[in-house]
């Protein structure tokens, strides 16, 4: 699948991000690698070019923990058309801390930053642009409402906060599709992937590396649902495993989505 315009991939230096960039480049797509660490991005780009010399890969700095960085990233884009956005970047913060914007870091990187990025990019994308948001199977257990977007240190939990942030991203995706029906908005769930994301900073991480990670999906496999979602001609689908299905009913709550949208808008205006 080759898309006419450039595809933006956030978190392109991570294991799944790099796998997505390489797969898209191999298909002949022009990719903009949106990364926090430019030196690491250059290394990833050089590695991909060593296998795909003709790859059209650009690099631009983007720190999703900073709303100012998100705005600077969008402002820096030239007139070259952006056809698709893959919100891949994510983090599971090991401890509670807030960004300069005053947001808990996990929520900033997994929800506030990608949401602002998406909305600011709409003016630079076609009406039927492809937007793929990476979510997580942990969302199944998240109970989201508009009061949980800014957790306190007492309310913070590594996986709990991550699940809530990703659940907020699902809510945003659903409301975005309602407000912009021409957009092709899809969700992608990679499953459990052997990446640094599952290193939680606990004493048992070493055991997990030896006993658990070998059983997890490899990054190249984990990114396949997102690649299929990017290639899709439609929207409002949930890509997981080797197929796709309608958005699960447990995530369909228009009233909640509208409240989350309004609450977020009161915190960050696009």
pTM attached to this predicted model: 0.91
pLDDT by residue (tens digit) across 8-62? 999 999 999 999 999 999 999 999 999 999 999 999 999 999 999 999 999 999 9
Give the pLDDT of residue 198.
44
Give the pLDDT of residue 141.
87
- Under 8 Å between Cβ of 8 and 29: no
The CATH code of the domain at 6-267 is 3.40.50.720
Count the neighbouring beta carbons within 10 Å of the beta carbon of residue 137. Answer: 13
Locate the domains of the chain by residue range: 6-267
Backbone angles phi, psi at 194, to 5 degrees: -75, 85
**In the chain, pLDDT over 70 holds for what percent of residues?**
90
- Is the pLDDT at 204 greater than 60, yes or no? no
pLDDT by residue (tens digit) across 71-106? 999 999 988 789 999 999 999 999 999 999 999 999
Give the pLDDT of residue 182.
98
């Amino acid at each position: 699948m080759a898309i006419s315009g450039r595809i933006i991939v956030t978190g392109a230096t991570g294991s799944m991000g790099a796998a997505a960039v390489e797969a898209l480049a191999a298909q002949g797509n022009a990719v903009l690698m949106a990364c926090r660490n430019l030196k690491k991005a250059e290394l990833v780009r050089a590695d991909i070019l060593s296998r795909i010399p003709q790859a059209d890969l650009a690099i631009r700095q983007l720190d999703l923990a900073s709303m100012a960085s998100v705005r600077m990233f969008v402002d820096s884009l030239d007139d070259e058309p952006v056809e698709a956005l893959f919100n891949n970047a994510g983090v599971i913060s090991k401890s509670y801390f807030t960004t300069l914007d005053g947001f808990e870091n996990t929520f900033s990187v997994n929800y506030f930053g990608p949401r602002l990025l998406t909305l600011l990019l709409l003016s630079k994308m076609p009406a039927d642009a492809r937007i793929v948001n990476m979510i997580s199977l942990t969302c199944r257990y998240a109970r989201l409402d508009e009061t949980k977007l800014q957790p306190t240190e007492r309310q913070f939990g590594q996986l709990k906060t991550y699940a809530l942030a990703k659940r907020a991203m699902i809510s945003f995706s659903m409301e975005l599709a309602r407000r912009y029906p021409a957009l092709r908005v899809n969700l992608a769930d990679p499953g459990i992937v052997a990446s640094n994301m599952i290193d939680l900073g606990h004493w048992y991480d070493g055991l997990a590396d030896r006993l658990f990670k070998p059983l997890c999906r490899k990054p190249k496999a984990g990114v396949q649902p997102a690649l299929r979602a990017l290639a899709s001609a439609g929207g409002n689908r949930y890509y997981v495993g080797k197929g796709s299905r309608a958005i699960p009913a447990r995530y369909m709550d228009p009233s909640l989505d509208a409240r989350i949208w309004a609450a977020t808008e009161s915190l960050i205006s696009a």
